[in-house]
Amino acid sequence: MEAHKTVTRSVDNLVHNNVDTGADRAIAEAAELIRNGEVVAFPTETVYGLGGDATSDEAIRRIFEAKGRPADNPLIVHVASIEDAARWTLTLPKTAKDLMAAFWPGPLTIVLPHNGTLSGAVTAGLPTVGLRMPDHPVALRLIEASGRPLAAPSGNRSGRPSPTEAAHVEEDLNGRIPMILDGGPAGVGLESTVVEVTDGQVTVLRPGGVTLEALREVAEHVAIDPSLLKSDEAPRSPGMKYTHYAPDVPLYLVEGELAALKQAIRKAKEDGLLTGAIIVNEWAGLTGAHQEVSVGSETDLAAVGRELYRALRQFKTGEVDMLLVCTFPETELGGAIMNRLEKASGGKKARL
C-alpha cells in the first residue's frame, strides 16, 4: 500500500455556482493527478466517489488497493455526456437512450456491452460496463478537466458505510489517497440505481436514487433481478455481493414500528447490552435506547436516504453493543433504503 499525504481542497463554492479560482485550481490539480494514474475522492449527488482513469490498469489497481475492495466487484464508470458513454460501448439501444434522456445527469447507472477499450479491471472481466453521468458540477468538471472516464466506487474502505461528506472519506482513506475534493454534503445520500438494458428489457440490479416507479414511467419492461440478494455468483454490478455499509457495531433489523423497537431494546437491556437506535424524528426520546440518531421524518424517505450513512457512522464500538433500526416500506425510495439496511445488517433480525 502506497503511503500518501492526503490533502483536502474545498470546492464547495462551485456547488453553489460561485466563482472560486481556488476551487478551479483544486480541480485542475486533481485532474492532473488522475492523468498521472493517481486516484482522487470527489463529490457526486449520491455519495463521494474514489475516481481514477477507467482506461488505466494502474489507476484501477490503486482504487482497489485504497478501498481493500474484492477484484471481482466491477466499478461504475462516470462520464460527462451521452456522447462520452457511446465511446465505451458497442451500441446504445433505444431504451438506454430513453433512460439517459430522462435521468441523466442523475443517480442512474446503465449496464451495457463495452467495446474493450476500458481497463479489464474496471469490468472484472465481464462483457458489460456500468455507465453513469453524475448530477454534480464538481464531478462533471473533474471528468472534463481530466479528459478521462472516471471509474469511481464510493470513497470508503470496502464494507464500511458509504461517505456522504468529505470527513467520512478522510476517516476511511486518510493516508491512502493523495487528494479529497470537498464539495459539502451529498444531496441524495444513496448510491445510484443500477439497471441492465437487454433487448428492450430493463433489469434492476441495484435499487437506488431512481425508483422502480420512475423507471416504469419511461421504459415499458422493467423488472427486478431475482439474484439481487444472492451471493453465490459473480456480481454483475456493485452492491450485488458482499456485506456493505456495515457500521462499527452489529446492526439488527426490527420488523414493525415504535412498539416493536421498544420491545427489542428492552430485551437487549435484559441481556446487559448497551443499545443504539436509528430512528425517525417522531420517535425521538421514546425508544429507551442508550443512544438515538434520527434520520428525518417518517414521511420523508428522501431525507432518510440522505441521512442513513451518516447515522450508521455515529455508532462506535465501546459506546453501544448493538444497533437496531426498524424496517421501512419498500415502495419508492424505501426499496433502496431497505437494500442498504439488509446489506449493512447481513440480514440479522432483532429478538422480540
Please state the residue numbers annotated as binding site for ATP: 69, 73, 128, 152, 154, 162, 206, 245
**Annotated binding-site residue numbers for L-threonine:** 46, 78, 132, 192
Measure the CA dihedral 114/141/237/161, to 10°: 160
The answer to whether the beta carbons of residues 301 and 242 sit under 8 Å apart is: no
**Annotated binding-site residue numbers:** 46, 69, 73, 78, 128, 132, 152, 154, 162, 192, 206, 245
DSSP state of 348: -
CA atoms 142, 148, 153, 156: torsion sign? negative
Q: Residue 9's closest CA among 185, 180, 186, 184? A: 180
Q: Angle 334-345/301-314 helices, nearest 10 degrees?
A: 20
Measure the CA dihedral 215/219/224/225, to 10°: -130
**Residue in the block written with cell 461504475:** 76
Q: Residue 91's closest CA among 117, 108, 115, 124? A: 115
Tell me the sheet residues that pair with 42: 49
Strands of the sheet with 291-294, listed across from one edge: 251-254, 322-326, 275-279, 291-294
Cα gap 278→287, rounded to integer Å: 10
Cα gap 34→196, rounded to integer Å: 28
Question: In this structure, what C-alpha cell is assigned to residue 71?
Answer: 477484484
List all residues 6 or more positions away from 149 whose beta carbon is below 8 Å from its beta carbon. 53, 54, 55, 77, 78, 79, 84, 87, 88, 118, 143
